[in-house]
């Protein structure tokens, strides 16, 4: 990371407006990665499983929302109105509920029977579920990029010089902040959230205290899918294109974000998502997109080697 800073700081000093513009794009990208990373970190915090299918659930969110947009009669280019955004909100809720059911079904069929198996078995199963979802989306919509309707306002606010921030960017960042705050409050204050934290600390003790472990884990997968579904819709609205294998790279980047922030830690996942988004934006902007994967996965390796608990530290159960 120090090498990356040394390389682009002189360029940033020569063109501050471009630096600020890339910062805006990085924060918007990072907000989307943060939403995906939250699902990774929640599932790992409960059952210590890296759910590699989570990135494909994120992509499925965008795919499922497309026919619903048509069913609600929404067309690109129509004037912004309260009815338009109310319809988008209803579509988002429907998609999140559908994906929640899909993720619970995946947990019930693929992961629950292997809960007490050696760690490698559920990990391989998670990779297999990822391929199954990708294959289903490929059969459904094909291998080409699919246009996603643009319903977000296109205006921009000047930040000085040639730099500006779009209403799109502000909406994406604001939505990510809202989801992180709501999720944190839910985990810390609600009865189910306390059950999740107890299950994460000690499943046997939690069960002895009357907590339904299966229900709690299923709820964790459900909430993770809600976040992924929201992320998929936001990605589509922001970039206006989706593809069946979108979740592969996005999922790996989000996994890196979760590890960087401290997998198992919600705030850490959010910070990690923003960080990875910034790294990707500055690498694409100042160097070349072919180097982006090198930087990001180098960060993943360095974190795993030198600070495996991540930036904020993984929550270690008290035995």
Identify the pLDDT of residue 4: 54
Identify the pLDDT of residue 318: 46
Identify the pLDDT of residue 104: 94
How many beta carbons lie within 10 A of that of residue 295, not counting itself?
A: 17
Please give the average pLDDT of every successive group of 10 residues along the chain, which has 319 residues.
58 74 90 90 82 91 94 84 90 95 93 86 90 94 91 84 86 91 89 86 85 90 92 92 90 89 85 91 83 87 86 55
How many beta carbons lie within 10 A of that of residue 223, not counting itself?
A: 23
Identify the pLDDT of residue 208: 85
Identify the pLDDT of residue 98: 95
Global confidence as pTM: 0.88
In angstroms, the Cα distances linking 156 to 26, 116, 153, 260, 266 are 16, 52, 9, 32, 31
Identify the pLDDT of residue 5: 57
User: What CATH class has 17-155+164-306?
Assistant: mainly alpha
User: Which 3-state string (H, E, C) describes the chain?
Assistant: CHHHHHHHHHHHHHCHHHHHHHHHHHHHHHHHHHHHHHHHHHHHHHHCCCCCCHHHHHHHHHHHHHHHHHHCCCCCCCCCCHHHHHHHHHHHHHHHHHHHHHHHHHHHHHHHHHCCCCCHHHHHHHHHHHHHHHHHHHHHHCCCCEECCCCCCCCEEEEECCEEEEHHHHHHHHHHHHHHHHHHHHHHHCHHHHHHHHHHHCHHHHHHCCCCHHHHHHHHHHHHHHHHHHHHHHHHHHHCEECCCHHHHHHHHHHHHHHHHCCCCHHHHHHHHHHHHHHHHHHHHHCCHHHHHHHHHHHHHHHHHHCCCCCCCCCCCCC
Q: Are 129 and 55 in contact (CB under 8 A)?
A: no
CA dist 178 and 187 (Å) reads 14
Identify the pLDDT of residue 82: 86
């Amino acid at each position: 990371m120090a090498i990356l800073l040394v390389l682009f700081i002189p360029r940033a000093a020569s063109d501050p407006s471009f630096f600020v513009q890339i910062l805006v794009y990085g924060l918007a990208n990072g907000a989307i990665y943060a939403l995906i990373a939250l699902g990774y970190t929640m599932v790992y915090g409960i059952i210590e499983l890296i759910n590699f299918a989570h990135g494909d659930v994120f992509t499925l969110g965008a795919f499922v929302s497309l026919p619903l947009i048509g069913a609600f009669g929404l067309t690109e280019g129509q004037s912004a109105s309260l009815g338009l955004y109310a319809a988008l909100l209803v579509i988002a809720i429907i998609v999140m509920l559908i994906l929640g059911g899909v993720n619970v079904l995946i947990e019930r069929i693929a992961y629950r029977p292997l809960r007490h198996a050696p760690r490698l078995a559920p990990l391989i199963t998670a990779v297999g579920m990822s391929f199954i979802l990708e294959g289903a989306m490929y059969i459904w919509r094909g291998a080409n990029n699919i246009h996603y309707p643009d319903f977000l306002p296109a205006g921009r606010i000047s930040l000085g010089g040639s730099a500006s921030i779009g209403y799109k960017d502000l909406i994406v960042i604001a939505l990510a902040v809202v989801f992180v705050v709501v999720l944190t409050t839910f985990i810390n204050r609600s009865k189910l959230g306390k059950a999740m934290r107890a299950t994460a600390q000690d499943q046997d003790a939690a069960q002895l205290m009357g907590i339904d472990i299966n229900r709690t884990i299923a709820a964790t997968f459900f909430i993770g899918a809600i976040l992924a579904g929201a992320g998929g819709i936001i990605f589509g609205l922001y970039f206006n294109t989706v593809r069946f294998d979108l979740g592969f790279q996005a999922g790996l980047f989000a996994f890196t974000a979760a590890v960087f922030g401290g997998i198992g830690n919600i705030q850490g996942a959010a910070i990690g998502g923003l960080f990875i988004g910034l790294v990707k934006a500055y690498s694409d902007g100042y160097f070349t997109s072919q180097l982006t994967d090198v930087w990001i996965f180098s960060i993943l390796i360095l974190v795993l080697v030198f600070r495996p608990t991540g930036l904020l530290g993984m929550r270690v159960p008290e035995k």
